[in-house]
Amino acid sequence: MPPPRDDEEVVLVDSRLDRWQEVFNGLGTDIRTVVCGHTHMPFVRLAHGRLVVNPGSVGMPYGRTGAHWVLLGPGVELRTTHFDLQAAATQLSRDSSYPGISEWADYFLHARATDADALAAFAPRDGRDHRP
């Protein structure tokens, strides 16, 4: 299995196919499933004959509350596990010394940002605004 490329690199569900080809360069043809992350947006898509899966985010979701994850097996299932958001926010506020933790917890645990907000934030980093 090849090592991860770069944890700052961004590809999105709607990234151009030529961008996906850049990401796949160097992968063997035997690699049929690619799991990625970092954007906190769950998706499954096909690009250049490879299945691409982003499980989403457990603690900082965009669009919908809950812990987003994926079950890989004979198929791919995007799943969401719901949890007590208020209890999690209370515990974070109580146990963390991070400045502004209460506001952070409210914003991220309650998924105040939408998937459109996430695409707007990450799109400039996937190369769509820079064409060779």
49 located within any domain:
yes
State the pLDDT at residue 39. 86
Structural domains of the chain, count = 1
102 located within any domain:
yes
The CATH number linked to 61 is 3.60.21.10
For 31, 67, 81, 117, the CA distances from 47, given in Å and listed in that order, are: 12, 26, 28, 24
71 located within any domain:
yes
Question: Rounded to two decimals, what is the model's pTM?
Answer: 0.83
> Are residues 36 and 52 in contact, defined by beta-carbon separation less than 8 angstroms?
yes
10 located within any domain:
no
66 located within any domain:
yes
Domain that holds residue 119: 17-125
| Per-residue pLDDT in tens (0 to 9) along the chain, 132 residues | 556 677 778 888 999 999 999 989 988 989 999 999 888 899 999 999 999 999 999 888 888 999 999 999 999 999 999 999 999 999 999 999 999 999 999 999 998 888 888 888 888 888 776 443
